[in-house]
């Protein structure tokens, strides 16, 4: 009976796998590479950076192509004009645009191929300050929130970005190094690899609005979830949040982009919609342009969270160790054949371990301490 049961299962698996055929849908490449415009016109005293790139087709290798040597001008309804200087890598910068709050401004772009692009006029908005960056811990991890309000009830639509930084430590505080076939003491602090810092910036589109509330208040808008046991909170963590005020049209654009990029993948998700920004090619009105120019001051706030604030966090790295005789052949074998690194001396042997337990740079960290740490 058991043999018959197993035979039926085997046949079912055979037919299930045998009837499947790989299907590669045809990808139709477009002849054009569309201009992508990113950035915010800043009416405050801070600088403004506009980033220009080009799209690439699905059948091409994913490599960002920057748009350099273009001419960028910010034009105001009050007949003012401010130029942005190219600094390379698709970036165009102005130290201060001298924009006037609530006045209308637009971005004009002329690329090296002679094409001209123009955005719609957008109102220069003043972004209210961030009240606080808060966080809560539960079984899933630590959720970080933004809190803000506008006493004038004039904002209503908000967007956020953030930059993360966190400190990591190697399991072994090593002071020795393998160098040209021998083990020697590290030259400290130049060759220290025990303490590192890692960085990450937001990729999701983070939005909230207060249109359904009597007051222009945003309470606990979720920004990022740090999963339980993640290395970000193994020592010390920092997040710098930037807040932008939006007009309703800009908010609707980013909301549609969010749905198109983050909520696709199942039968029950909304179908992708065509995204049209507020930038147009005036040389060729039929050309598609990606992006939406906004104008607002930028408010920022940062917080730190230490490991002792989240006890029993659960971060763990498995560290394999092996005692290696202190001779050239054994050391070379441990390094070159096994891919291990020397952790510490235990005479007459040397204890080797996996690189991620010895050298924090092998986990993607940098030994250069951030200026704000």
The model's pLDDT over 213-224, given as tens digits with 9 standing for 90+, comes to 999 999 999 999
* Residues 183 and 275 reside in one and the same domain: no
Q: 123 Cβ partners below 8 Å, 6+ apart?
A: 102, 103, 104, 247, 295
The two counts, helices (H) then strands (E), for the chain are 4, 25
* Residues 119 and 151 reside in one and the same domain: no
Which of 295, 326, 353 represents a domain boundary (last residue)? 295
Supply the pLDDT for residue 195: 98
pLDDT of 3 over the 50 cut: no
Supply the pLDDT for residue 248: 97
For the chain, the farthest-separated pair of C-alpha atoms sits apart, in whole angstroms, at 89
Count of domains observed in the chain: 2
* Residues 112 and 164 reside in one and the same domain: no
Note whether 206 and 133 are within 8 A (CB): no
Rounded to whole angstroms, the Cα distance separating 20 from 327 reads: 56
CA-based R_g, the chain, Å: 27
Question: Which 8-state DSSP code applies to residue 100?
Answer: P
Supply the pLDDT for residue 108: 98
pLDDT of 337 over the 80 cut: yes
Domain assignment of residue 41, yes or no: yes
Domain assignment of residue 6, yes or no: no
Rounded to whole angstroms, the Cα distance separating 321 from 32 reads: 55
Supply the pLDDT for residue 61: 63
Rounded to whole angstroms, the Cα distance separating 157 from 218 reads: 10
Average pLDDT over all residues of the chain: 90
Q: Read off the pLDDT of each residue in 344-358 and give the average, rounded to a whole number.
A: 97
Supply the pLDDT for residue 260: 85
- Residue 91 lies in domain: 35-124+248-295
Number of Cβ within a 10 Å radius of residue 114: 7
For the chain, give the percent of residues with pLDDT over 70: 86
CB-count burial class (<10 Å; 0-12, 13-18, 19+) for 367: middle
Supply the pLDDT for residue 169: 97
Domain assignment of residue 19, yes or no: no
Q: Read off the pLDDT of each residue in 232-238 and give the average, rounded to a whole number.
A: 98
């Amino acid at each position: 009976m058991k043999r018959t049961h197993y035979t039926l299962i085997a046949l079912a698996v055979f037919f299930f796998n045998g009837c499947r055929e790989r299907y590669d849908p045809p990808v139709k490449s477009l002849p054009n590479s569309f201009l992508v415009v990113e950035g915010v016109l800043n009416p405050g005293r801070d600088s403004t950076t506009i980033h220009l790139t080009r799209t690439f087709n699905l059948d091409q290798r994913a490599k960002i192509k920057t748009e350099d040597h273009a001419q960028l001008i910010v034009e105001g309804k009050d007949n003012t004009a401010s130029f942005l200087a190219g600094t390379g890598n698709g970036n165009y910068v102005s130290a201060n645009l001298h924009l006037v709050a609530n006045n209308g401004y637009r971005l004009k772009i002329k690329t090296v191929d002679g094409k001209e692009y123009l955005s719609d006029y957008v109102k220069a908005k003043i972004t209210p300050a961030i009240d606080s960056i808060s966080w809560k811990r539960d079984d899933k991890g630590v959720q970080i929130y933004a809190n803000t309000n506008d006493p004038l009830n004039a904002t209503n639509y908000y967007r956020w970005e953030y930059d993360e930084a966190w400190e990591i430590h190697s399991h072994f505080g090593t002071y020795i190094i393998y160098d040209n076939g021998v083990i020697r003491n590290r030259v400290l602090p130049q060759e220290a690899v025990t303490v590192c810092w890692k960085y990450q910036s937001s990729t999701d589109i983070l939005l909230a609005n207060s249109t359904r509330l009597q007051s222009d208040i945003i309470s606990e808008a979720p920004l990022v979830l740090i999963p339980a046991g993640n290395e970000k909170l193994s020592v010390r963590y920092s997040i710098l949040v930037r807040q932008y005020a939006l007009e309703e049209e800009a908010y609707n654009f980013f909301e549609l982009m969010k749905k198109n990029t983050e909520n696709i993948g199942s039968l029950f998700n909304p179908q992708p919609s065509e995204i049209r920004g507020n930038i147009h090619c005036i040389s060729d009105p039929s050309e598609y342009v990606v992006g939406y120019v906004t104008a607002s001051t930028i408010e920022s706030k940062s917080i730190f969270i230490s490991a002792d604030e989240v006890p029993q966090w659960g971060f763990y790295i498995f560290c394999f160790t092996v005692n290696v005789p202190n001779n050239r052949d054994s050391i070379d074998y441990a390094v070159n054949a096994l891919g291990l690194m020397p952790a510490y001396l235990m005479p007459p042997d040397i204890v080797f371990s996996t690189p991620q337990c010895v050298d924090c740079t092998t986990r993607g960290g940098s030994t250069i301490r951030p200026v704000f740490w």
